[in-house]
A and B are shown apart, each in its own frame.
Chain A
Amino acid sequence: MTFSKTNIGRRGLIKGGVALGAGLAAPTFFNNRSFAAAHSGYLNAPTGKSVTLGFNVPQSGPYADEGADELRAYKLAVEHLNGTGSDNGMMETFSSKALKGNGILGKKVEYVTGDTQTKSDAARASAKSMIEKDGAVMITGGSSSGVAVAVQALCQETGIIFMAGLTHSNDTTGKDRKANGFRHFFNSYMSGAALAPVLANAYGKDRKAYHLTADYNWGYTTEEAVTQATEGMGWETVNAVKTPLTQTDFSSYIAPVLQSGADVLVLNHYGGNMVNSLTNAVQFGLRDKEVNGKNFEIVVPLYSRLMAKGAGANVKGIFGSTNWHWSLSDEGSKAFVQSFGKKYGFPPSQAAHTCYVQTMLYADACERAGTFNPCGVVEALEGFEFDGLGNGKTLYRAEDHQCFKDVLVVKGKENPESDFDLLEVVEVTPVDQVMYSPDHPQMGGEEATLGSCNVGA
């Protein structure tokens, strides 16, 4: 009895407290957030003289190096967009001339940063605070596919545009594709398709491959892509072994490779994993061995300069693929490398490049659409063809929001001149060779769907 009595009393107290609070706030008006959004048509519509972008990058954790480079690129992009930099970077070479160097749609570009910690929970928390607290209209960044997929889904749900940073797994624009999300970076399928012919040329069509694969989604999609592409060339896959992501010593995984009769080792590893597994493999003397009358070879499907630096001399002569490399000699790349080098004193990584380009593409899409409205931006980016951003002619495909462009096949340099000069481009695989249909089985098949764009109103 007393229970229910006091219960009402407490409620009354709370109600009283709330009423008091509301009373103190005399000249107030409540507005429903979605109602306010409906006014302008979309969530976080910039009302003042500036527009806020959210740069969500790993500042701690295993990919902190990539994250730091991404942030440098974003800052540079903001300078170029606002016209406050010492030059205009790739804005000069970009085929679309909609950007004027006065911000986006005349609004000064401001930004907020956050730490994804390379964890999807932390990344979403950080992105949510950018959306809810700072009023960001676009979120970009990240350097792992798990994070990209998680943040992309959040942006779809809330009605914000997501421009993916470094994410290579097929899933981002495959089975987990979203209408509000866009990826400029290439993917596992493209790596496989670009590498296979080069490998067949260099090592012959009669090869037996042994895969070591990092035991998570990116590893799976990369293994699948490389296996299918190389088997298409006539290679045989002897075995594919999963290795835990936290593994640091791969000796026990390398030893069985020699007994298996394989003559190529494919390391579907990234970051610290790749540095360790490659170093182990080279220390085991795999590369000096001769199996089936052929030299034993090692392949690393996804290369980055930061990884090559970690593995040091071990990368010499090893093939891999990469999205972009600073030694490219087209006008866009030269402009970007010069601008980045002038500000920071060293050349940019591929992560920095893709993040810079994504920011430019977003800004340009807003200018062309004449609005920050996500649906307008989506429309402007879908099927957009451009050039002059470092990868040659590129298409943002409408069906899955994936960029299609030439893919670089690189090799560890035999005589590097500096810490940054570790990779050389052996071949530029033309875009036609890495093209696939949007309902490709590796991309989630026919079930994968973008959904419709969300403006959060």
Chain B
Amino acid sequence: MFGLNRNDTLLLIVVALLTMLAPFLLNPFPEGSSLAQFNGGYPDLMQRFVIFGIFAIGFNILFGLTGYLSFGHAAFLGVGSYAAIWMMKLLTMNVIPAIILSVIVAGLFSLLVGYICLRRSGIYFSILTLAFAQMSYALAYSVLTPITGGETGLQPKLNDPRILDAAVGSGVTPRANLFGIEMGTSWQMDWNGWVFTFNAGYYLAAIIMLIAFYLSIRIFRSPFGLMLRAVKTNQNRLNYTGVNTKPYTLAAFVISGMYAGLAGGLLVAMDTQVGPERMFWTASGEVVLMTILGGVGTLIGPVLGAGLIKYMENILSKINESLLEAWFAFMPDAVSDVMVTLLSLFVGKGWHLTLGLLFMIVVIFLPGGLVGGLIGGGRRMFRSNDRKATRKTKSNQTPPTSQTAE
């Protein structure tokens, strides 16, 4: 189907089902129950899941296939965001032109950055991209304040020109829309205490994510993708056989830059605001974490990694001590005090610590990331059922690497 083999089609369908049913899947606990804290099915977080999913999918095309580790991808996300918000300020609040322009601008910018940075490989490439991203951040933060709004960032204002839009009523804040459907529109479904929210913006972003995901499968399976893998495996040998690898790596770089721009444009479409922190090096590092956590070079891994990190950032960071106290109230005071003090290290502002621990565990024990771990675990189970005796001695072998996990 769609020019995909059976497994890939299945994967695409599973991802489509997961994204379309996300409002149900992410809200497993009834409203008002003590576990409702862990529900992630509200519009903003669901939007972030798919948008950062796109970002990570794009990053994976560069890092997963060619092995070039860019440490400055957030710059493209930021550039895309600025392009989108300017489109909304000047042209129209419709999200389509904003998203298209964000992809184009990010593509052009990544062409420039890629052309320069790809002259080097390995650590030098990473440092060059990092330098570019930090430069963009510094420019956006202060030097280019008239264009970027500096620290305060940009939002649509009442008195922006917006030449294509009819004038909104006086004092009414302009809102991002898709031909009249506002991105913030939500429908709620109540069912026996459960509340499920269906958000227009989320479904737009989810559909775009599915297209982006499909494109990435096609790239992975194409001769072009094969060439990129060859670059990762041994670029020197490729050069010696007379292949010029630069066009391939540059194309991969620009594609992944455009993915980042798309994510940036979507972020603005869902939440009409841009700040320069979006380009800070920690944001670039975050997408590296997402990809590694989920599984480098796997198709679905980066999306899972993005989801996991955004979930922790938004859910864990909101658990505070008074909530913990409420949870452990049934225990004797002394025990509950100890539990609260211990656990509060890992939630609230300590969510970074939890993320760090998780990252270490994944990198040490599951070198193929979560997906690698899942597939490895699955294979081990099957094999142990088939050949229990022979497995015994080999049971501690490392799981398959990302190469086989694709």
The interface of chain A, by Cβ under 8 A from chain B, is 2-3, 6-7, 10, 13-14, 17-18, 21, 25, 27-34, 36, 59-60, 64, 112-115, 119-122, 124-126, 128-129, 132-133, 144-146, 149-150, 153-154, 156-158, 169, 171, 176, 179, 215-218, 220, 242, 244-245, 447, 449-452, 454
Enumerate B274-317 residues with CB–CB distance to A below 8 Å: 275, 277-278, 280, 313-314, 317
Known A126-B314, A150-B155; contact A29-B1, beta-carbon cutoff 8 A: no
Q: Which of B40-48, B117-125, B382-390 contacts A (4 or more CB under 8 A)?
A: B40-48
User: Nearest Cβ in chain A — how far from B102, in angstroms?
Assistant: 16
Query: B273's contact among A34, A59, A153, by CB below 8 Å, is which?
Result: A153
Q: Which of A3, A28, A120, A245 has the most CB of B within 10 A?
A: A120
Instruction: Tell me which residues across on chain A come within 8 A of B272, comparing CB atoms.
Output: 157
| B187: interface (CB < 8 Å) | yes
Pair A25/B151 contact, Cβ less than 8 Å: no
Q: Which residue of B lies closest to A34 (CB)?
A: B185
Pair B141/A215 contact, Cβ less than 8 Å: yes
Pair A242/B190 contact, Cβ less than 8 Å: no
Known A30-B188, A451-B158; contact A132-B317, beta-carbon cutoff 8 A: no
Nearest 7 CB-CB pairings of A with B = A452-B171, A59-B349, A120-B275, A128-B44, A119-B277, A215-B142, A146-B151
Q: Which residue of A lies closest to B272 (CB)?
A: A157
- Determine the distance from Cα of A3 to Cα of B214 in the docked complex, in whole angstroms: 13
- Determine the distance from Cα of A28 to Cα of B320 in the docked complex, in whole angstroms: 33
Query: A132's contact among B44, B278, B352, by CB below 8 Å, is which?
Result: B44
- Determine the distance from Cα of A303 to Cα of B16 in the docked complex, in whole angstroms: 54
Interface of B is mostly: mixed
Q: Interface size bucket, B side?
A: 35 or more
Query: B48's contact among A33, A34, A125, by CB below 8 Å, is which?
Result: A125
- Determine the distance from Cα of A125 to Cα of B141 in the docked complex, in whole angstroms: 20
User: Nearest Cβ in chain A — how far from B277, in angstroms?
Assistant: 4
Pair A447/B44 contact, Cβ less than 8 Å: no
User: Nearest Cβ in chain A — how far from B7, in angstroms?
Assistant: 16
Instruction: Tell me which residues across on chain B come within 8 A of A244, comparing CB atoms.
Output: 138, 142
15 A–B contacts, CB within 8 A, in A order: A33-B187, A59-B317, A113-B320, A120-B275, A124-B273, A129-B45, A133-B42, A145-B152, A146-B152, A149-B153, A150-B152, A216-B142, A216-B150, A450-B171, A451-B171
Instruction: Tell me which residues across on chain A come within 8 A of B313, comparing CB atoms.
Output: 122, 125
User: Nearest Cβ in chain B — how far from A58, in angstroms?
Assistant: 9
User: Nearest Cβ in chain A — how far from B357, in angstroms?
Assistant: 16
Pair B188/A10 contact, Cβ less than 8 Å: no
Instruction: Tell me which residues across on chain B come within 8 A of A113, comparing CB atoms.
Output: 318, 320, 348
Enumerate B82-128 residues with CB–CB distance to A below 8 Å: none
Instruction: Tell me which residues across on chain B come within 8 A of A124, comparing CB atoms.
Output: 271, 273
